[in-house]
Every structure is written in C-alpha cells, then in structure tokens.
Structure 1
Amino acid sequence: MVTIKDFKALRPKNNFAKDVAALPYDVYSTKEAAEEIKKHPRSFLQVDLPAATAEAFDGPINDVAAKNFEAMKAAGIFERDDARNMYVYELDDGMRKQRGLMCLASVDDYLGDRIKKHEKTRREKEEDRVDHIDRLNAQTGPIFLTYRDDEAIADLIAKGTAGEPELDFTTDDNMTHRVWTLSDREIVDGLVEAFKKQDALYIADGHHRSASAVRVAKLRREQFGPGDGDTEYNYFMAILYPADQLHVYDYNRVVADLNGLSEEEFLEKLEEKFVVTETDDAVRPEKKGEFGMFLTDRWYRLNFKGQVPDDVIEALDVSILQDNLLAPVLGIEDPRSDERIDFVGGVRGLKELERRVHEDMAVAFSMYPTALEELMAVADGGKVMPPKSTWFEPKPRSGLFIHELDEIN
C-alpha cells in the first residue's frame, strides 16, 4: 500500500510556462546551463543550477538559488493554486506519449521501502540538494517514479484528461508538454484509493532528489516534531508514470585512458573475455551480452564469452562490463568515485561517444539498455544496481510545478 496526496502547486503562469520549463539540473554541465539561460532568461535552471548564473560568487551557492527564485516570484512569473489538486503532465515527442500523475509521495513510504530504490547515492550530491530544498523551503523538481500498470488508475486519469489541456506548448527539442488539473474530488480521491492497492512505487530517476527530500523531512521532524498527514515536509513532489509508457535508454561509458596499456595490449586482454570484431559501422548493441567499443577512430563489437551469472545484479550488462573489463583491464574499481570514467546518456547518440574519444577520452563503450523488469527485480530484491545503469527519456521539466514546504492545508 502506498500513499499519494494532492497539493497546492506553485506554477508559472501559462504565458511564462514554456520559458520557465527546464530539463533536470543534472542533465546539464554548468556551461551548458549558462548557455540555456542566455537563450531563455526565465529558465528555471537559474534556480536549479545557480552556479550557471554566478561564476564569481564566493558565498553559499544556494543563496544564489534562493535569490533567483525570489526574483522570479517578485516578477510575477508564478502563481499558487488556491485549492489542493493533482495534475496530469503529458510528454509527447510525436511518436509516443508519456502521461504522468503529478502529486505528493510519502516520506514514510520511502523510509518503509514502499518506494523502492535501485541505485546508491553520492553524499556530496545529496548535501547540495538538502541545502537547496532547505534554503528555498521548496521542492523544485519532481521525483520520477513508476508503478505497475493498473486499469483503475488508467481509467481515472483518462476521465480527468477528457477535456482540452490548460497548458500546451512545444519546447526547442520538439517535445510537446500538456497539463491538466485534476480538481474533481471523485477523481482525486479515487486515485488515492487506487494507489493504496499498489505494493510499491519505483524510483526511475531522482535518487539524489528523493534522498535529499527525505533528509530534509528528518531534519524538520527533529526541529518541529513528526507532524501528521497534513504536514508538507512529510511528503515530496513526484510524477508517477505507468511502467508500460516508459522507455529505458542505454547509459554508455567513456574512459580517459587505457590504464597504461598500448592499444595492442588492450585488445589482446579483451579477447580473454570477449569476442572482439572490428566493424565499419557504429555499434548499437542488439542483445544482452553485446557491447560496442569506439577506440581511435574504429568501432568494435564485443560479445561476452562467459556464462551469464544467475544473480540479478551480476547478470546486468553494466555489471558484466564492469566485472570483466572496466575493473580488471582498465582499473576502474569504483565507477561511483573514479574520475577516469564518465557516463553518457544514450539519448545523445553514438556520435557523442565518438566526440568524447576525439576530444578528452581514450575509449567509449555503448551498452544494451537495462530492462525495466530488471530494475524492478533489483529493487524488489532490496539490491542496488551499479551507478548509471538506466537513462529514462523523455524527462519531465522542472519549474512547472513547485511544492512549498510551508504550505499546510
């Protein structure tokens, strides 16, 4: 049984929504975010990634976030809903639609493992988001959750979106965004009851944001008491997508050097665990146990020779690559902390891997995407995947919905 809740969202006025909407802060480098803010001065990136607006600032960076947030509110960009609602937020790339329910999820469900995790978090990234939430007194980016398909939930959402959306715009990446407000109490209460029948929700994207929101809740419980079902810090903002609407992309790897090996020595070592085939074409793996590799202007196809392990974690392709190549050959023992490795979301394409090798890396690996069923199996087993195992696309924008923690009723 999981608990969801409606809330009074702070939202950009309709005529500002397109300019405010921003991809999650961790999609951008600081330089890329600064360029985006130049193109769209009202972009919410100035709040979510304040370093992009304050290169010379020598104080706490989230003071800049708070200053930028207050300036946007003072400029009349946002308005707060008068009543508690849920919302449906649809992403449409012209080929498929992804329709999610924007609401609040329970901190206690997270602590009770009814909101399931599949990745470890980095403490320093958590610290930044804890400070960000606490300084703004608000959660600014939704946690991307998924759930097993449910006909009753689908019917209620279909009923709530039968009319025209109140918000409908297309961003520079040709993604169309549509929003419906669910104010009908029969629909909202029906969704609350329907989700009580779900055994769990699963974090698809937003492990650091959710962990940070929970840490802020713990701090405020220590300061102000445990609160109750109407206490805002006992919840965090989330968008819930049914599993059948989600698409998982590959999450590829690039490594800065060959660990002291020549190319010939490196290829020779690979052949101990992989069938290595040079190819004229870029390699996008088509099955589990297959990898692409770009090395000095050449693509190779790598096929794992060994038996796929029975363990759900060890059987993941990201684990096979880590355990049989990245660690023993390239010396990447801990990909969470080793600065020699970087990760590239599959949505950026194989050309991005080639670019990185030409500019600042030695070798790149393209991956077969982790399946959503694998993610759920790992989470259900109380285990965690290696870092950067999944990349979900499209991603909901930040800034369209904000959950203020001082809002009680």
Structure 2
Amino acid sequence: MPTVKPFKATRSTPDKAAHLISRSYQDYSVEELEMQLKYNPFSFLQILNPGYKFSHEITGEERFNLVRNRFLEFKEEGYLMQEEQPAFYIYENTDPHHSYTGIIAGTSVVDYADNKIKKHEDTLSHREILFKDYLKIVGFNAEPVLLTYQDDAEVNRIIAQVKDTFPVYDFATTDSNRHKIWAVTDPAICSMIEKRFAEKSELYIADGHHRSASSHLLSQEMGDQHESYNYFMSFLIAESQLNIYEFNRMVTDLNGLSKEAFLIQLDQHFRIKNHDLEIYKPSKKHHFCMYLDGEFYSLYLRKDIHKIETPLDDLDTQMLYDLILKPILGIEDLRNDNRIDYSYGKSDLLVMKSKIDKGAYAVGFGLFPATVDQMKSIADADLKMPPKSTYIRPKLPSGFIIYEFENE
C-alpha cells in the first residue's frame, strides 16, 4: 500500500562528494563549524550557513533566500549535478562499529496523511510551518526522513543484486565513515522495488517527524503545481539495522525537597540501591540509573505498582515522567520547562555525571533504550512518545542526495 518512487536527484559530482557532504548542522561544535566554513569551499555547510560570507548572522526568510542562492551557485559551479533520469539510491554506510544499507526514495505525502506511514512523536505546529516555508523558498530537501519496515528477504535480495554492480560513489570521510551509493535506474529493478513496498501494509517513521509533517503542509499549499510536491525524500531501512539509543534526563533541582525526602518519595515505587561511585547502567527496561549528590543509584520498578494498560505505559520515558518527573519534581511540560535537559545515550553517563558535579543540575536519570517493537506498538495504537524518547541511528549526511522540487 505505501507508494515509493524513484526521483531525479540533485547530487554531488563524484570528485567533490567527500568534501561536500556534511553531518547534521547541530552535530558540529562552534570550532568545527568555523573550520569547515573557512577552509572547505565545497562543504554543504556553505549552503546552509549563507551568512558566513558576509560575516553576518542572518535568520528567517532572508536566510532562506540566501540558502537558495548558494544552492544555485553550487549547481552553476558544477559541484552539484541533477540526475538525467529517475532513480532509487542504495546507500551503504560503514563506520568502526556498524554498517547499514537502505534505499533512498520519494515517499507519498498522501500515505503520511492516511497513516500508512505511522508516527510515534508529536510535532510542534510552529516548527512544521517554519520548515514548510524553508522548503518552499529554498526549493529542495537535503535531509531524508528515516523510515523503517519489517525485514524483508525480497528487498534484501534486490539490494544485494544492486550492490554486485559498481557504485557511483565509494569514499571515506575524516570521521572514519565509508560511503557507497548505487543509482538504480533500470526500470525492471525500480518496478520491483515499488511493487515490494506497495505490498506492505505500513511504514514507520523512525526519525524525521517534523520533516514529513512539513512536507505534507507544503504539498497542501502547492496543490497541483507539480507532482514533486506530493512526495518527500526518505531513507528506507529494515528494522534490524536501526540502532536506538536513550536520552538521559537531568533536572536542575529537587523541587524543594531534601535529598532524604526525595529518596523516601522514590521508595514508594522503586527498589533503591546505592552504588556509590560505581557507574550503574540499566540493562533492561523498567530499570533506571540515578546520579544524585555524587553517588550512583539503581532504581528498579516495584512489581504490580505501576499499571500497564497501553503500550505507552510500558515505555520507560513515560514511566519516569508519570512516577518521578511530574509528581515528585513538579515538571509538567517536558518540552518547555527549563528545569529539565537531555543528553543522548552515546554521550555516556559520564557526561551527565560531569554536569551534575559542576552544579548545573541536581539529579540525573539514565534509561534503558526503547526498542523498535515498543516504538511500533505505540505508533500502531496512535499514541505518542514523550519528547526525547529515542536517539536513532543511522543519521544520514546532508547534501549527498538532494530532492529538488520542480515548478514546470
């Protein structure tokens, strides 16, 4: 039932690809960003940060227009080229710890609206509108939505068949990642891919809820101006290849409670063990790490205390909110309360410990990562996870394969 289709991508010329692609803008430190903008004229960051050449911070619609200008300049300079015929793209990434392969495709916004593409996160309307306006002005999308599907032997066979041919890209970047891409233009193979995904009952958004929602808004606004507005770029990857990490929570204060009073309240729902300076990392769901006053604790949910009536009730981030953050620490709004902050699991519990030891926060909680099955169950029940419930990899580089809207 879901519709996927090949598209005429705008992509880096092979000789510039290793220099042009970039990580997500937020992944760079201020120093790294400065170095890229200063010394790499081919970086896609030059497009995303057009104010750098003017030594001026530019925001809003003015920035969007300049992003469009830089994009057109990259095409004029020959750094970017557009595919002559529609294609699917098989992308393989290998880093020192993982390897994953998926299909970059155009995905129907109608399927998104009809819930054939299922969601597990709420989106913020102002962010949807902002990114919709950005897409409309710049005229392209460089960051695919990460969609996942149940492992499929036939899709694996098609991918393996394509990977037996010569890739259009094969290079390594300085972050020790190797990138390979195959452009699939053979009509017979493209038809097999389309048919196989059309036989699936649904796809699931793993990452990119705001991007897909904004693409839907843009499609509604542009109407029938061009078919390209009826699709958004996605990266389709099998469930078994997703890596899900946790977001840790840090809170600035104990809501007026003493350490002793706080621990007594926790004891109502959890078995508490003091690990002193020994780092405790949860090894299963419903187990939590807590760092408080220079000591690590394990918190094990007491059996039969917390009723699990929906898939959301079984999620550790929801459990933490229902039993600790809201009733004890007084945090109602997880998105906007400035007393709470987050750090994703790959940053490690030591980062959380360091911030608390420096006095920026009073207490921190480490969680066990959510699973793909939990994510799907919540989406199937039309429920939404609390914000910052999952940090999902892969994260695709920007500027590698670009979905460009057409107006003719």
TM-score over 0.5 (shorter chain): yes
CA distance in 1, matches of 2:7, 2:22: 21
Quote the residue 2:138 is aligned against: 136
Deviation per CA, 1:351-401, whole angstroms, max 9, x where unpaired? 222233245333221110101011111111121111111111231111101
Check conservation: 2:148, 2:237, Cα contact below 8 A: yes
Question: Structure 1: which amino acid aligns with 2:78?
Answer: G
Quote the residue 1:343 is aligned against: 342
Deviation per CA, 1:302-353, whole angstroms, max 9, x where unpaired? 1112345131101101111010011111111121222222222212222222
Quote the residue 1:270 is aligned against: 266
Is the partner of 2:313 in helix, strand or coil? coil
CA distance in 2, matches of 1:33, 1:358: 29
Label 1:388 to 1:49 Cα distance change in 2 as closer, same or farther (>3 A). Answer: farther
Is the partner of 1:14 in helix, strand or coil? coil
Check conservation: 2:117, 2:205, Cα contact below 8 A: yes
Label 1:117 to 1:338 Cα distance change in 2 as closer, same or farther (>3 A). Answer: same
Question: Structure 1: which amino acid aligns with 2:351?
Answer: E
Quote the residue 1:185 is aligned against: 187
**Segment of structure 1 superposing worse, 66-75 or 303-312:** 66-75
Quote the residue 2:282 is aligned against: 285
1:47: how far off? 3.7
Deviation per CA, 1:203-257, whole angstroms, max 9, x where unpaired? 0000011111111111101xx46x6xxx100000001001111121112222222
State the identity as a percent. 34
1:103: how far off? 0.6
Is the partner of 1:402 in helix, strand or coil? strand
Quote the residue 2:247 is aligned against: 251
Check conservation: 2:129, 2:217, Cα contact below 8 A: no
Quote the residue 1:299 is aligned against: 296
Check conservation: 1:11, 1:80, Cα contact below 8 A: yes
Label 1:52 to 1:269 Cα distance change in 2 as closer, same or farther (>3 A). Answer: farther
Check conservation: 2:253, 2:362, Cα contact below 8 A: yes
Quote the residue 1:330 is aligned against: 329
CA distance in 1, matches of 2:286, 2:325: 15
Quote the residue 1:373 is aligned against: 373
CA distance in 1, matches of 2:142, 2:400: 9
CA distance in 1, matches of 2:212, 2:29: 21
Check conservation: 2:68, 2:139, Cα contact below 8 A: no
**Segment of structure 1 superposing worse, 388-397 or 18-27:** 18-27
1:36: how far off? 5.2
Count of equivalent residues = 402
1:50: how far off? 6.0
Quote the residue 1:15 is aligned against: 15
Deviation per CA, 1:168-219, whole angstroms, max 9, x where unpaired? 2223332221111112111111000111111111000000111111111111
2:57 pairs with 1:56: yes
**Segment of structure 1 superposing worse, 126-135 or 141-150:** 126-135
CA distance in 1, matches of 2:291, 2:25: 28
Check conservation: 1:25, 1:49, Cα contact below 8 A: no
Check conservation: 1:30, 1:49, Cα contact below 8 A: no
**Segment of structure 1 superposing worse, 194-203 or 89-98:** 89-98
2:83 pairs with 1:81: yes
Is the partner of 1:15 in helix, strand or coil? coil
Check conservation: 1:30, 1:52, Cα contact below 8 A: no
CA distance in 1, matches of 2:288, 2:398: 33
1:58: how far off? 6.0
Check conservation: 2:9, 2:82, Cα contact below 8 A: yes
**Segment of structure 1 superposing worse, 163-172 or 235-244:** 163-172
Check conservation: 1:344, 1:353, Cα contact below 8 A: yes
Question: Structure 2: which amino acid aligns with 1:377?
Answer: S
Label 1:300 to 1:179 Cα distance change in 2 as closer, same or farther (>3 A). Answer: same
1:89: how far off? 0.7
Deviation per CA, 1:269-314, whole angstroms, max 9, x where unpaired? 2222222222132222101111112224322211112345131101
1:56: how far off? 3.1
* 1:38-53 equivalence runs, <5 A: 38=38, 40-48=40-48
1:33: how far off? 4.5
The structure 2 residue matched to 1:159, chosen from 161, 164, 169, is: 161
Where do 5+ consecutive residues of structure 1 fail to align?
A: none
1:149: how far off? 1.3
**Segment of structure 1 superposing worse, 108-117 or 349-358:** 349-358
The structure 2 residue matched to 1:240, chosen from 220, 230, 236, is: 236
CA distance in 1, matches of 2:286, 2:156: 35
CA distance in 2, matches of 1:342, 1:267: 21
CA distance in 1, matches of 2:307, 2:48: 41
**Segment of structure 1 superposing worse, 235-244 or 249-258:** 249-258
Label 1:248 to 1:150 Cα distance change in 2 as closer, same or farther (>3 A). Answer: same
Quote the residue 1:117 is aligned against: 119
Label 1:130 to 1:113 Cα distance change in 2 as closer, same or farther (>3 A). Answer: same
Question: Structure 1: which amino acid aligns with 2:4?
Answer: I
CA distance in 2, matches of 1:52, 1:330: 42
Label 1:333 to 1:118 Cα distance change in 2 as closer, same or farther (>3 A). Answer: same
CA distance in 2, matches of 1:56, 1:83: 38
Where do 5+ consecutive residues of structure 2 fail to align?
A: none
Check conservation: 1:259, 1:330, Cα contact below 8 A: yes
* 1:16-35 equivalence runs, <5 A: 16-27=16-27, 33-34=33-34
